[in-house]
Structure 1
Amino acid sequence: MVQRHGPRIPVGIEHENGGNRESYTLEVKDGTGQIIGARAQSDVQLTRGQLAVCYAGGYQTAAAARLAGVRATSDEALTQLIRATTNIESRLPEHF
């Protein structure tokens, strides 16, 4: 079986109480996403609510994500995140 590796996207996710953000890398492989702690600068910055919408495929375009307040260092970075999270059935094996 050939594994398909998707993008590795540096993301910043806001703390529950707002303000500070933690840095992570979103890695997509064979249609499965995993968020791994990282020290890299974030290309896309999300609140936890925006992450949930993104996870559920709620942002179909980069423009829709920007209108919802998602921030990114470039249109390319945001488009890469949207492409990685749309057209994939959401499944939540753990609480986040």
Structure 2
Amino acid sequence: MKGGSGQITRTQAAGEVRLTRRQLAVCYASGYRTAAAARLSGVVARSDKALSSLIRVTEHEPWLPDHF
């Protein structure tokens, strides 16, 4: 994510943080309050710093469409 926008694409390269679709939905809805909670649910990250950065992105209230 950069400048408030982001893009999700399939890639063959290993990412900093790997999430399933369900984990992404939980993250988007601010379900992970800490990096430890994310790891306990199975989120895989190369470093605690990368995972903590992702969790901080979700500190703001999410905008959820009618059908999520």
TM-score range, shorter chain: 0.7 to 0.9
More helix per residue? 2
Number of aligned residue pairs: give it. 66
Unaligned 5+ residue runs, structure 1?
1-26
In the superposition, the TM-score normalised over structure 2's length comes to 0.78
Between structure 1 and structure 2, the one with the greater Rg is 1
TM-align CA RMSD: 2.2
- Which residue does 2:52 correspond to in 1? 79
Runs of 4+ in 1 over 6 A off after TM superposition: none
In the superposition, the TM-score normalised over structure 1's length comes to 0.57
Identity over aligned residues, as a percent?
Answer: 58
More strand per residue? 1
Unaligned 5+ residue runs, structure 2?
none
**Bigger relative contact order, structure 1 or 2, given CA contacts below 8 A and separation 6+?**
2
